[in-house]
Chain A
Amino acid sequence: MVKKHIISLISCMLLTTPTMAEGKFHRFLTTQSVSDRKWFNHIDVAGTIGTSGLGFDIAFPMSEWAQLRIGGAWMPYLHFDPSFGIEVAENLPKDIQGSKFNKIADEMQSILGTRPELNVKMEGDASMSNFKCLVDIFPIKKNRNFHVTVGFYYGNTDFITAAVSPYSMRNMTAIGALNSLYKKALSDKTASVIDAEGMGITIPEGVSFENTNKKLREWGETGKTVKNRDDLYGKEVENKLHSENAFSVAIGHYSHNIVAKEDIYYDYSAELDNPYNEQIGTDNQGNPVYREVRYQLDENGRPIVKGGIRYHKGELMHKSGDPIRMAPDENNQISVSGRGWWKFKPYIGVGYSVPITKDKRTTLGIDAGITIWGGTPAIDVKVPLGQDAAGNAVYNTINLVKDAKSMPNSVDKYVKLVKLLPVMPEISIRIAQRLW
């Protein structure tokens, strides 16, 4: 409907323009005399307001039929605050997750001084600033009301940044702390999760952390079990499957299969030999899927799982429909960022302007067109995957616009909006004043 109205309005303007120039509206509508317009012999300044924000430009005539406009447009900060739920382990019913988290939260309160909650609020800003250089061409002879515009905008590509709100950071630090304890317990079944040595405390001899670590590992138990072929003892062992993180931030589901772009390791910092294959599940045909695990032997000759290749290059990492889980990074942060593709954005459009003062030195105009910015922008989140061979954290960048579905409503509405913008529509109102 709206499209129809716009098209009919533009066609009316186009059709009526030449006739009006001859008719009784002639005096009112025609802009200043055309013949005196030569290369840079006038200057107009203008303020603009539109979809690309507030702006200004300086316009110079180039000839009788063209005008150059140079200026800037700046979109003030738009504030938005998406929020996400915190997920405990993987594939657990919501009520079990809730009761598990509440129990931990109650107990943590006595240590942290504050009680963490099951949600994370983020704060985001969207802003764009562009330099613009446009040429207005007046296609109708001796009529300067209607113009066709070509030119370009040049400006930032990263137009959305979002981070966890300071008011929600207590939840992030809590789950960050718990994840860090959980990971220590997961990688070593008996070592102390408390850095007592660092604190200058000696642990009494014979103290075992086995129970502590077992309890910590329970946080990330998924409820699924898997049979591991244990090469060392030559028998199959049934193990409970553990999540990568005990606590993660849920952000929707993958809309298609995601494969690894490179080899991704996990906990590879230790010196490891003795590879063996651990079954991590089954593929679509029901065949077992293995991953390589490297381990060390403890003093009793039992294997301590330390790390290995998480995903080989080209391996399926996330199946379509799997939940997308973000975990706090090394700063207990998660981040969401939005980016366009091109800094240099060609513009094409049309415009119409009328004088609003008797001396015709002040004009009011409307411009409509499109800015081509290289396709639908991306909204990226970073999903932790493990470590690279040098021990640095590796993240997989997921583009919510392409790779995600069924997101929380507070995120989905922005993703839906971005999906509508393969090109940036530009509609602006322009008030210009002749300087000389």
Chain B
Amino acid sequence: MSKGCELLSKGLKHKFKGLEHKISRGKKYFSSRGKLFFVKDKINKNAIFFFLLYFFRTFAPQMKRFIILTIFCTFASLLKTSAEKWYSLEQPNNGYFNHVDGAFTAGTTGLGFDLAFPLKNWGRLRVGGVWRPRGKYSDTYAVHMDNPEAYWGQFSAFASTFVGVKPEKYIEMEGKSSMNHFKMLIDIFPIKNHRNFHVTVGFFWGTHDYVTATNTPISSNTIAAIKTYNTIRQKALNNEDIDLSFIGINMQSEDAQEIKQKLYNKLIEMGEVSIPLGEKTDENGLTHVVNATINDKDVIEVKATVNRFKPYIGAGYEIPITKDKRTTIGVDAGILIWGGKPKVKVFEGLSNVAGQNTPGYLRSADKYPVYPEASIRISQRIW
């Protein structure tokens, strides 16, 4: 009985051994073709699929959380790795600067390039530049007058005389945003023998005025008209003299004095002409209108400024896209720290901003102390 059992178990063992042998041969067969990962990864793929399905069903209305979880799951499944995996990256020799990779990047800070050098097996130095093409916006702000029905025509006649063109009922602002940066980043590989995932620290150095907006040249006429009108009206309020001798009018004559007084009375009656930007509540809780300031060059100017030196912190993931693993594609995500809130003097603390098309990042720039950076990077080993 026992012998019989032994024989049976031996036979089974033998059979199992044969099977094991076959499996190991199969493994070799598959791995020698470089296709084993398909077999192995089926489990992983299924896992990811069910994860995605589950989260899609649960979180479909909250897409943001869904996207975050998807990325997390993908990373988590890929993190568990070995050197054989198709997505694993070459381990560099244990030295500094013994390779150079050249890379193109595209992302929220613009188009760029970098050169990357290994720092032993724990890190990598990336040095490069990034340039965001100019973004543009345009917006209009209405010209305000207390009683336009009665006085706009008269204001227009005033402008035709003193500026040579009729004013428009609005002014147009044109904004340009640009970002040009030098960058120096250190990628740290926190997981031993695994270079796919990295944490990045470093800095960007560059742009100071990241948004500059001015009125359009055509609107300069309206602005000149408003400034001239308000300048002369101020003289009227202060009862100062006006010098028109350059157009041959002798202001000492009785006629000239009479015309001047009529003009002054008219200007005071018509009231101030302004360009309201928004409303501001002061410390007493009173809301008052904030008007655009025309600078000494007769320009309305809005500037958003940030520190030139911007620390960066982020993380990234990279996989090879060629069999020789010399070409890779990666994603990086992180934050650029402005180093203090952006300064936008004009819109600071304003509510009910008049322009409808002024971008949110400018209207309420002081609410964003960081700039999100997300980029794709294609890299090629040079040597």
Residues of A within 8 A of B (CB): 47, 54, 76-77, 103-104, 107-108, 110-114, 163-167, 169-170, 172-174, 176-181, 193-204, 206-207, 211-216, 328, 330-333, 356-359, 361-362, 431, 433
Contacts and interface: CB of A to CB of B under 8 A. Distances in A.
15 contacts: A107-B245, A108-B246, A110-B243, A112-B224, A113-B231, A165-B217, A176-B164, A180-B165, A181-B161, A195-B157, A198-B153, A203-B259, A207-B255, A332-B163, A333-B217
B248 A207 contact: no
Given A114-B298, A166-B215, A333-B218, A173 B248 contact: no
B299 interface: yes
Given A103-B246, A112-B228, A359-B324, A169 B298 contact: yes
Contacts of B245: 107
Interface string B146-175: 000000011011101111110000000000
A214 B326 contact: no
Interface string B364-375: 000000000000
Contact of A77 (B134, B153, B216, B247): B134
Contacts of A164: 217
B104 interface: yes
Nearest to B219: A166
* Prevailing SS type, chain A contact patch: mixed
Contacts of B134: 77
Contacts of B228: 111-113
A51 to B, nearest CB: 18
B7 interface: no
8 A-B pairs with the lowest CB-CB distances in the bound complex, closest first: A198-B157, A215-B248, A169-B220, A107-B246, A180-B164, A113-B231, A177-B164, A170-B298
B224 A194 contact: no
Interface range, B side: 35 or more
Given A176-B164, A198-B157, A332-B165, A216 B218 contact: no
Interface of B: 104, 111, 133-134, 153-154, 156-158, 160-165, 214-218, 220-221, 224, 227-228, 230-232, 242-250, 255, 258-259, 262-263, 266, 296-299, 321-324, 326-327, 380
A359 B322 contact: yes
Contacts of A165: 217
A201 B262 contact: yes
B253 to A, nearest CB: 9
A197 B249 CA distance: 18
B21 to A, nearest CB: 34
Given A173-B298, A215-B247, A330-B165, A166 B217 contact: yes
B327 A173 contact: no
Contact of A112 (B221, B231, B259): B231
